Amino acid sequence: MKYRKLGRDGPSVSAIGMGRGNQGVKFEDEAMVATFNATIRRAYELGINFYDSSDAYWSTRHEVLLGRAVKGFRDKVYLTSKFGNIDLPDGKKATNGRPDYVYESCDASLKRMGVDVIDLYYLHRVDPKVPIEETIGAMARLVEQGKVRWIGICEAGPATLKRAHKTHPMTALQTEYSLWFREVEQDIIPACRELGIGYVAYAPLGRGLLTGRIRSLDDLGPNDRRRKHPRFQPENLAKNVKLVEELEAMAKGQGITAAQLALAWMVAQGDDIVPIPGTNHVKNLELNAAAADIRLSGEKLARLSEIFAIGAGAGKRYHENVLKGVGI
């Protein structure tokens, strides 16, 4: 595994990190917990030292399971978590960036994960009702208290990112980025590079679209949240699958999978970018990790960028009502 520095003053993390995956979990499901533990253990064996979580994932259960899974090698890995992205009982979303909530959330995450410090702590969504300086100021206090080592922010627009960074240095910004969704190349990534902030790319496989395993809605479970996403609506999905078929053809010619080719393209976009694909299967994890060592020619990189030019895919990444809450 290769490693890259996260931000100007951050840690050295694996070139490919570990996302949370899409699968839900129940504590009483022993088989699922065993699979989760095995996947995390294998990730560590492969040199992956960067693990992503949030108090919003699996109703806080992901933090609990991740903390337990890394207990035997906690001091050799970097754990992240997030706060401020809230699911309300009626299914609607809310944000909370108030300073008192910052402290409350961090203490709760530390307890759930069973750790003394969170390596990288993100504001999961910008709260438009709270000045970003107040939220980041509270997060800076967590660093002073030794509860957090570095801080970051998710889905922030360039102006907010600059204000946040001025309040306290941001180590990383986390936002979606993949061959399918490249709009961040226009202003978000340049802003990060101007400020010396690392870029952590979630959904680098287009929420599974770039694996080639999703051809129709029938390939998604009845309760899969992706069924509601615009890019997976039947008419859009049919168009997107055509693009993925070109990705698959290129991958086959190189003797790798479509997912590996997509990840290799992303790793090649800069040493300041760290994709965090999510999986709950050891086999897929091993393939993802191997992508860090795949080198693509300039011709292949250019061809992929041409096929997946901005606007080539059909359907936005979220519905309009959700998009109102990102890029603030």
At 242, give phi and psi (nearest 5°): -60, -40
Rounded CA-CA distance 7/91 in Å is 35
Rounded CA-CA distance 25/23 in Å is 7
Q: Which two tokens stand for residue 181?
A: 């969704």
At 103, give phi and psi (nearest 5°): -65, -45
Length of the chain: 328
For CA atoms 296, 299, 304, 309, give the dihedral sign: positive
**Contact indicator for 65, 30 with CB cutoff of 8 Å:** no
End-to-end CA distance of the chain: 35
Going from the C-alpha of 160 to that of each of 9, 51, 68, 168, 195, the distances in angstroms are 20, 25, 35, 12, 12
Catalytic, 3? Answer no
**Contact indicator for 54, 124 with CB cutoff of 8 Å:** yes
Q: For residue 194, how far is the Cα from the chain centroid? A: 21
**Contact indicator for 285, 160 with CB cutoff of 8 Å:** no
The active-site residue out of 57, 101, 121, 199 is: 57
* Rounded CA Rg of the chain: 19
Kindly report the number of other CB atoms within 10 A of residue 72's CB atom: 10
For residue 223, the SS3 value is coil
Q: Which residues are catalytic?
A: 57
